[in-house]
Structure 1
Amino acid sequence: MLDYIRKLQDNIYLAEIPLKGNPLKAINIYIIKTDDKNMIIDTGFNTEEILDYTKAFIKDLDLDLDKTELFLTHLHSDHTGLANFYDDLGVKIRVSSVDEQILEESMEKEDPHWVLTQELGHMQGLDIDGLDIEDHPGFKFRPRKKFNFTPANPGDHIQVGDFNFEVVDLSGHTPGMVGLYDKEKSTLFCGDHILGKITPNIQFWNYEVGDSLGTYLKNLEKVRDLNIKHLYSSHRFLIDDVAERVEELKAHHQKRLDEAVNAMTKKDCTVRDITKSLQWDISAKNWDEFPKSQKWFAAGEAHAHVEHLRALGICDFYKDDDGVLYYYLTDKK
């Protein structure tokens, strides 16, 4: 067996594929192999190197692609980048209807998703940073064309060998992220919902999606209350104590919320101002040294936190003449 593949339990394998140059470091691709059906969960970025890793694990595990399905937990390019490779081979692809719609609207730079991303960057006060959507990892490593898909929406059931999975709603990280839960086997494939050591990026998507952090926290509680012995997440190490990790993630976000409130006690703040005031686990010494590609994600996360505070009635915003948002604590006005 290849050195980046390991067997986790009967019929379940993990291929840990490097994401070179990305702070995520690697992605955990899961493969369920049974006599009558196989399932691959997520893909990695759309790069030649990751494609080579993918072809190698398919060969090493002797996967018959005629009886293999691909399950995409969510729309991010490190999970969907190679969807076209599988589609071209006739592999059935499952993804939630919500995230698939966003994917369809993000194939080209001029498509609605990327136009909205740039508009949000302006509203967040990021124009001064000179960001280009072509530097955004989600754009650089995306699928290049639309692909055939079968909806996998919360409440659906998928049988893979003796696994009876229910598709569960894990939205928050993306508007339509889903996982695969087998209650009898106490097993959950959770995508980026709960990660070891690092925290999933929760970003503000738009005002239609609304309070993404609130949604995420609600779905954290839901997963904590499930009977889970095997939690299979998409990055870093596997987690043994789900309840403990959920409490750590909740504490992390409360700290972020407190930092945002503290920033707004001093002045009315743009999202960029608040982003700069938060503590980030990154080698950059200050905001100016942040990689431009990561400024998109950092500002999106800060925006999600202030929008959660706004949903709680703690803050509100106004727009200046240029359409930039300024947030303020409601008890100051």
Structure 2
Amino acid sequence: MEPGAFEVAPGVFRIPLPLPNDGLRAVNVYAISDGDELVLIDSGWALDEARDRLEQALGGIGHGFESISRFLVTHVHRDHYTLGVTLRKTFGSRVSLGIGEQPSLEAILNGRVEGQLNDLVRWGAADIAERMREGMKRGGRQPDGYERPDEWIRGETEIRLNTRTLKALPTPGHTAGHLVYMDADSSLLFAGDHILPHITPSIGFELVRQELPLGDYLDSLRLVREHPDMRLLPAHGPVADSTHVRVDELLDHHRRRLDETERALGQDVATAAEVAGRMGWTRHNRKLSEMDTFNRMLAIGETSAHLDVLVRDGRLTGSTVDGVARYTA
């Protein structure tokens, strides 16, 4: 990951910031020149190294933290949200977040993880839920620098800056309150984790899970596809020329993944955890048992999200007994 600020469009700079122990390695923050000020799309993780890298990158384009008037955050995950919350304490920048993130943020602030633990039980992963519960008893659960934003963005919203106008577009799926920001005049889409160039974002693992997260995600992809094609500015990975091309690839991926999930279930009655154990994961087709606990949780949650769409579409049936969901052809 090369540090610095890289101009990807006139007055728009991509700033990669480090992530700890994460296969993604970096999160892209985008700095938009807005007269004498800067508006940042996402902020990075509240880590000393990320803060130093951001300060150096801004200095390279003639600015400091005091130039940041506003953080427009795509979603509540810590690598997008928490550094902005930290910086506003000193420099007074405003932090904006989509209203759909409010339930998950309140759960974070109040240490409420029961919903996520219950989800794991429902998916047939009670063993992982119990390990999580025991770990939290030993180490406690801290909100990790989270605070409430200055502004909740409600629905599709036009955001007028000094030099350009952005549109915040709700795109639930990866999280319930995920937003993308469109700059129609410059043909730019600040996509957050909604559309990533080389990987598919995780679906279905939140503190407050939506009823049908994959259904929401597919609808959000189609919504973006209805808008004119724009240059893709993702939160992870390189900038790409066409949003539409990648949206079509993601829709096709999930169509194939739904078919694979149905085949993995076969004629059995099985839980999401059991079905996930029969499938390959990542581009290397890894087994579920080869993955660490966190990525196993993501995989099982995503399998559940696919199974629930298959039930909605009439391709499977589902039932819940003693809090555990089971699926059958």
TM-score by length of 2: 0.88
Contact 1:107 1:144 in 2 (8 A): no
Q: Residues 297-328 of structure 1: CA distance to partner in whole angstroms, max 9, x if unpaired?
A: 1111111111111221222322334x221111
Contact 1:156 1:166 in 2 (8 A): yes
Alpha-carbon distance between aligned partners in 1 of 2:301 and 2:209, rounded to the nearest angstrom: 15
Match of 1:297 in 2: 298
Alignment RMSD, CA only?
2.6
- Give the AA of the match of 1:38: L
Alpha-carbon distance between aligned partners in 1 of 2:291 and 2:86, rounded to the nearest angstrom: 33
Aligned-pair CA distance for 1:171: 1.2
Q: Residues 190-213 of structure 1: CA distance to partner in whole angstroms, max 9, x if unpaired?
A: 111111111111116599722211
Q: Residues 39-73 of structure 1: CA distance to partner in whole angstroms, max 9, x if unpaired?
A: 11112223332232233334433135365101110
Match of 2:147 in 1: 146
Matched positions, count:
321
Q: What fraction of aligned residue pairs are identical, expressed as a percent?
A: 24
TM-score by length of 1: 0.87
Q: Where do 1:8-27 residues align within 5 Å? A: 8-27=8-27
Closer, same or farther: CA 118–170 of 1 in aligned 2, 3 Å: same
Contact 1:45 1:142 in 2 (8 A): no
* Residue ranges of structure 2 left out of the alignment (5+ in a row): none
Closer, same or farther: CA 230–142 of 1 in aligned 2, 3 Å: farther
Alpha-carbon distance between aligned partners in 1 of 2:74 and 2:28, rounded to the nearest angstrom: 12
Match of 2:107 in 1: 105
Alpha-carbon distance between aligned partners in 1 of 2:191 and 2:179, rounded to the nearest angstrom: 7
Aligned-pair CA distance for 1:292: 0.9
Alpha-carbon distance between aligned partners in 1 of 2:68 and 2:45, rounded to the nearest angstrom: 23
Alpha-carbon distance between aligned partners in 1 of 2:281 and 2:318, rounded to the nearest angstrom: 24
Whether 1:6 and 2:10 are equivalent positions in the alignment is no
Alpha-carbon distance between aligned partners in 2 of 1:18 and 1:205, rounded to the nearest angstrom: 23
Match of 1:52 in 2: 52
Q: Where do 1:1-333 residues align within 5 Å? A: 3-61=3-61, 62-63=63-64, 65=66, 68-89=69-90, 90-108=92-110, 110-111=111-112, 114-129=113-128, 131-132=131-132, 143-203=144-204, 209-281=210-282, 285-321=286-322, 323-329=323-329
Contact 1:318 1:327 in 2 (8 A): yes
Closer, same or farther: CA 201–186 of 1 in aligned 2, 3 Å: same
Contact 1:190 1:232 in 2 (8 A): yes
Q: Residues 64-101 of structure 1: CA distance to partner in whole angstroms, max 9, x if unpaired?
A: 53651011101112211323312312210111111133
Contact 1:124 1:324 in 2 (8 A): yes
Closer, same or farther: CA 7–208 of 1 in aligned 2, 3 Å: closer
Alpha-carbon distance between aligned partners in 1 of 2:68 and 2:221, rounded to the nearest angstrom: 33
Contact 2:98 2:170 in 1 (8 A): no
Aligned-pair CA distance for 1:140: 8.4
Contact 1:204 1:303 in 2 (8 A): no
Contact 1:81 1:141 in 2 (8 A): no
Closer, same or farther: CA 271–288 of 1 in aligned 2, 3 Å: same
